[in-house]
């Protein structure tokens, strides 16, 4: 049987933030901040060396409001401004990705997650095996047959059953889970007194929010009151946390074929940034690209 083509979709914004806060504040020989770039490239280099994907893209958020702000003006209103030390690193990272032959995708009005959700759906429809690379648990809602999440921090791969084992709920229950729990970072107010454990138990018992509300009299008095109070905003919460997989992006999975890396320019860029340990990786990339091997995550 012919192996399915693989496509790797990287949640650039989420991982970049993670790398920025997780790694020490490294500096280039010129004194510019480079820690987030270094962390991102280490992760990417490992992915490329391990799997040599023929189809790959990195999606980024753009500054400015999205369609979610139109629904809820306070969306992400409490989120802190991107630190200047991180802002300075983003253009340099994007330049490295282009030199590596990797497509970048950014669409005004949409978040990286929605871009990935749309491409994942298109990829599955065209019989690709889709691997989403993200440390963000909110993306678990996208997992289904043929679409998997790879957490680059823990190096775990999630299929439907792995999501259930880790979180106690299935991927198709994740939107309701997030709607109930809320998100302080995105300024989404959940159901009072409902944390992850309670949400998981309620979904295990009733299946979804609609059934919980239909059976509200079966809940403990405190929870009854909390759901009554939150009833009107739960639908809005669902809208805010559900990822859009129907964006008209004008990009097909086949368009994400990795181009040949400009290894000379890449090496020069790594030297500029002081990435001595990453210079060795360039040789590996060259030999893997020549061989054209493509390994599986499974």
Query: Is residue 279 over pLDDT 80?
Result: no
* Same topology between domain 6-160+244-291 and domain 167-241: no
At residue 284, the pLDDT reads: 62
Band of pLDDT at residue 57, cut at 50, 70 and 90: very high
Tokens at 188, concatenated:
């989404």
The predicted-structure confidence for 219-270, as pLDDT tens digits, reads as follows 999 999 999 999 989 999 999 999 999 998 899 999 999 999 898 999 999 9
Distance, CA of 153 to chain centre: 12
Instruction: Count how many Cα atoms sit within 13 Å of the Cα of residue 27 in the half-sphere of its side chain.
Output: 4
Q: Between 2.40.30.170, 1.20.1370.20, 1.20.90.10, 3.40.50.1010, what CATH number should domain 6-160+244-291 receive? A: 3.40.50.1010
- Pick the most confident of 9-23, 59-73, 282-296: 9-23
At residue 121, the pLDDT reads: 97
User: Could you tell me where the DSSP H helices lie in 6-66?
Assistant: 12-22, 35-51
List the domain boundaries for the chain: 6-160+244-291, 167-241
Band of pLDDT at residue 1, cut at 50, 70 and 90: very low
Torsion angle in degrees (nearest 10) through CA of 88, 106, 40, 133: 160
Query: Is residue 297 over pLDDT 70?
Result: no
Query: Is residue 280 over pLDDT 80?
Result: no
The CATH class, in words, for 167-241 is mainly alpha
The predicted-structure confidence for 110-166, as pLDDT tens digits, reads as follows 999 999 999 999 999 999 999 999 999 999 999 999 999 999 989 999 999 999 999
At residue 229, the pLDDT reads: 93
Dist. CA 70–CA 18, nearest whole Å: 27
Burial 259-294 (b: 16+ CB within 10 A, else e): eebebeebbebbeebbbeebeebbeebeebbeeeee
């Amino acid at each position: 049987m012919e192996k399915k083509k693989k496509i790797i979709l990287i949640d650039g914004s989420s991982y970049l933030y993670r790398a920025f806060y997780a790694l020490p504040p490294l500096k280039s020989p010129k004194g510019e901040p480079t820690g987030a770039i270094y962390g991102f490239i280490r992760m990417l280099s490992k992915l490329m060396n391990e799997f040599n994907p023929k189809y790959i893209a990195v999606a980024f958020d753009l500054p400015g409001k999205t369609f979610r702000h139109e629904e809820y003006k306070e969306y992400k209103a409490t989120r802190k401004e991107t630190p200047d030390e991180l802002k300075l690193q983003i253009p340099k990272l994007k330049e490295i990705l282009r030199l590596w032959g990797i497509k970048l995708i950014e669409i005004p009005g949409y978040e990286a997650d929605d871009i990935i959700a749309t491409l994942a759906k298109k990829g599955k429809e065209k019989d690709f095996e889709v691997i989403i690379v993200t440390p963000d648990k909110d993306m678990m809602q996208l997992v289904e047959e043929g679409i998997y999440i790879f957490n680059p921090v823990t190096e775990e791969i999630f299929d439907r059953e792995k999501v259930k084992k880790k979180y106690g709920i299935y991927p198709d229950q994740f939107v309701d889970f997030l709607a109930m729990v809320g998100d302080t970072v995105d300024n989404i107010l959940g159901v009072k007194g409902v944390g992850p454990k309670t949400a998981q138990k309620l979904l295990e018992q009733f299946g979804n929010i609609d059934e919980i509300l239909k059976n509200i009299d079966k809940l403990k008095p405190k929870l009854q009151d909390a759901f009554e109070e939150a009833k009107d905003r739960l639908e809005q919460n669902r809208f805010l946390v559900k990822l859009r997989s129907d964006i008209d992006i004008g990009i097909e999975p086949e368009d994400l074929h990795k181009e040949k890396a400009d290894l000379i320019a890449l090496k020069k860029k790594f030297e500029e940034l002081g990435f001595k340990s990453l210079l060795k990786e360039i040789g590996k990339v060259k030999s893997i690209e020549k061989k054209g091997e493509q390994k599986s995550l499974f």
